[in-house]
Amino acid sequence: MSKTVVVGMSGGVDSSVAALLLKEQGFDVIGLFMHNWEEEEGGQCTSAQDWADVQAVCGKLGIPHYSINFSKEYGERVFKYFLDEYNRGRTPNPDVLCNREIKFGVFRDYALKLGNSIATGHYCDIGSNSGDPILLKAADQSKDQTYFLCDTHTEQFRDVMFPLGKLVKSEVRALAEKHGLITSGKKDSTGICFIGERKFRTFLAEYLPNKPGKIIDTNGREIGAHMGLMYYTLGQRRGLGIGGVRGEAQERWYVVEKRLKDNVLVVSCGEGEELLSHGLKTESLNLIGKVDKPNIFRCTAKMRYRQGEQPVTVKLEKDSMTIRFDEPQRAVTPGQYAVLYDGARCLGGGVINEVIKDDFKLE
């Protein structure tokens, strides 16, 4: 009796090829499309076109396909968190929460009623350690998505397959073209679906009130006005609206602090050290699979997605962790995730809660 695998279909080339590969391997494949956002009038989310592409691909492959609406769950479990974090003056990463709560949460639960396993087009891989699933990096390091899966729980990876784990993107597109899939040349989606092609500030203003305030430099001098702290992130250089300031070198300004208590944006000119830190603390910790490590151990970590792995020392607490960097890191941002790696394995991660500016020892 053949095994049935339910593939999370997004309308992109990656999930299309995931379905193709599984069918070629002899599985009974079902395509399941998630509708996660109720489009407002004038919105640019491409859900309708994506569903049409899913229908075309599944028709080409000869597999059954369905659409399921999780917009209510997305609003309650992901979008509310997104807004709450911005209200706290932080910079959230809703894609991480979407994986835990939606793709490997309600979607997984629904899909396992239709089949024996689920699969997605994520660039990552699955292994095993003492009977528990572990998360492994993809062969295509430039596309590796383990960072976005760091907060997904161990049990959520059971009965999960990642068919693209050992492929690179060029191979995926070549397979799609070879088999005549309509998505072969489709541009990769970027950003968050519920924002689409709209300007981020315009979108956010629809849900959170603007609170304009002062921009000051690190000496306390007022040099401009901001449109609302939620629109800025640490290290940001563009869009500050600051011209030349008398007595300062004509270099670009960048954000070094967001003071929520008095609604002040603090900036610095040039390439100063204000954004450097020696470590961080998280407010949560999720370890994937059994982690055979002492309380304090060495590994590598990423503090944002588009960053190379950095050598660090980690101290595990009960439900959080403290990380000390070997070399000071720039613009470590509360609300983002610190993700741990041990060679090819992603150990998990946690939400950055506190940035440690001064050097310190872990003991």
Q: Where in the chain is the domain with CATH 3.40.50.620?
A: 4-121+163-178
Residue 80 pLDDT > 70: yes
The per-residue DSSP string of 234-277 comes to: TT--TT------TTS-S--EEEEEEETTTTEEEEEESS-STTEE
| CATH topology assigned to domain 4-121+163-178 | Rossmann fold (3.40.50)
Q: Where in the chain is the domain with CATH 2.30.30?
A: 214-269
Radius of gyration of the chain (CA): 22
Residues 6+ apart with CB under 8 A from 349: 147, 150, 151, 282, 285, 286, 337, 338, 339, 340
CA dist., res. 44 & res. 42, Å (int): 7
Residue 126 pLDDT > 70: yes
List active site positions. 98, 193
pLDDT, residue 274, reads 87
Q: Where in the chain is the domain with CATH 2.40.30.10?
A: 276-356
The whole model's pTM is what?
0.92
Q: Any idea which architecture 214-269 has in CATH?
A: Roll (2.30)
pLDDT, residue 249, reads 58
Nearest-5° Cα angle at 21, 27 to 107: 70
Residue 42 pLDDT > 50: no
Pick the CATH number of 276-356 from 3.30.200.20, 1.10.10.10, 3.40.50.1820, 2.40.30.10: 2.40.30.10
Nearest to 1 by CA among 30, 28, 32: 28
CA distances from 247 to 202, 251, 254, 255, 269 (A): 34, 12, 17, 19, 11
Taking only the tens place, the pLDDT of each residue in 235-270 is 998 888 886 666 555 568 899 999 999 999 999 987
Return the DSSP state at 286: E
Taking only the tens place, the pLDDT of each residue in 178-224 is 999 999 999 887 666 656 556 777 888 889 888 999 999 988 999 99
Q: For residues 270 and 317, is the Cβ–Cβ distance under 8 A? A: no
CA dist., res. 171 & res. 354, Å (int): 41
Residue 128 pLDDT > 70: yes
Taking only the tens place, the pLDDT of each residue in 309-347 is 999 999 999 899 999 999 999 999 999 999 999 999 999
pLDDT, residue 41, reads 45
